[in-house]
Amino acid sequence: MKITYFGHSAFKIETEKSVILLDPFISDNPHFEGDAKAATEGVTHIVLTHGHFDHVGDTVEIAKRTGAQVVATFELAQWLGNKGVENSQPVNTGGTAKFDDFTVTLTQAFHSSGHVEEDGTVTYLGQPNGIVLHFDNGPTVYHMGDTDIFGDMALIEELHQPKIGIVPVGDRLTMGGAVAAIACRRYFNFDTVIPVHYGTLPILDENPDRFVEAMEGESAKVKNPKIGEPFEV
C-alpha cells in the first residue's frame, strides 16, 4: 500500500484495486507544488472528514473529471450532489461503507462543518468526522479529521486498532501539538503517526515541533513525509 501526503490534511492512498483521496485540498494548498490534475489521475474514491473549504478542496472538480465515488456524511453528500457530484456514498457517524478492498467507518470528531456560499451565507453540512479505513492488504489508518482530544478515542482504539494515525497538531482550529501527543500516547498504539494541519493558514502553528517534542520517548513513531512523494506501508 502506498501513501502520498499533499500537505495540510490531504492524502492519497493507493492499493491494488483502489486510489483513495482523503480531504483533497490540493490546488489552493500553499504546501502543494505540482500539477493537481496529474496528482489525482485515476482516483476511484474521495473520502471527506467535513465540509470546510480546506478539506473539501478540489472534490467537485476531481469527482466530475474522474467519476470517483465520494464518501461523506449525509448532509455533505447532498450538498455535493447539488454542486454536480453524481456518485456519492453517504455515511454517518458510526456507519461503515464497503468497497472492493477497503472499508470506511466514520467516527466522531470535535469540530464544526459548513461552507460559506458566494452570497456570504453559511450552509451547515452535518457533523464533522474522523475516518477509519480498514484494508484487505494493509494497515488500518485513522485520519482524525479536525478535532480536539476526547476520551472516546479509547473506544476507537478498542474497536479498530489503527496502526497509522493522521493527527491534527496546528492548534487554534484543532488541538495543538502537546494535546495531540497526549491523545496519541494515552489512547492509541500507533506504529506510525503523521502530524498534519499546520503551517498552511496564518493562524496555525508553522510546524509540528511542539507535537514531536511532546511525543518524548515515542517520537520515533512520528513521520513527516515529503509532500508529493509516496511512501510504502
* Average pLDDT, consecutive stretches of 10 residues, N- to C-terminus, the chain (233 residues): 98 98 98 96 98 98 98 98 97 98 98 96 97 98 98 98 98 98 98 98 97 94 97 96
Give the model's pLDDT for residue 44.
98
Is 112 part of any domain?
Answer: yes
Is 108 part of any domain?
Answer: yes
HEC string of the chain equals CEEEEEECCEEEEECCCCEEEECCCCCCCCCCCCCHHHHCCCCCEEECCCCCHHHHCCHHHHHHHHCCEEEEEHHHHHHHHHCCCCCEEEECCCCEEECCCEEEEEEECCCCCEEECCCCCEEECCCCEEEEEEECCEEEEEECCCCCCCCCHHHHHHHHCCCEEEEECECCCCCEHHHHHHHHHHHCCCCEEEEECCCCCCCCCCCCHHHHHHCHHHHHHECCCCCCCCEEC
Give the model's pLDDT for residue 58.
98
Is 213 part of any domain?
Answer: yes
Is 232 part of any domain?
Answer: no
Number of structural domains found in the chain:
1
Q: Which three cell numbers stand for residue 135?
A: 484494508
Q: In whole angstroms, what is the distance from residue 174 CA to residue 117 CA? A: 23
Is 231 part of any domain?
Answer: no
Give the model's pLDDT for residue 133.
99
Residues contacting residue 16 through CB under 8 Å, at least 6 positions apart: 101, 137
Rounded to a whole number of angstroms, the distance between the first and last alpha carbons of the chain is 6
Boundaries of domain holding 214: 2-225
Give the model's pLDDT for residue 33.
93
Is 233 part of any domain?
Answer: no
AA identity, residue 28:
D
CATH number at residue 171: 3.60.15.10
Q: In whole angstroms, what is the distance from residue 178 CA to residue 132 CA? A: 23
Q: In whole angstroms, what is the distance from residue 65 CA to residue 197 CA? A: 27
Q: Which three cell numbers stand for residue 107?
A: 467516527
Is 230 part of any domain?
Answer: no
Q: In whole angstroms, what is the distance from residue 157 CA to residue 195 CA? A: 18
Model-level pTM greater than 0.85? yes
Give the model's pLDDT for residue 31.
97
Is 39 part of any domain?
Answer: yes
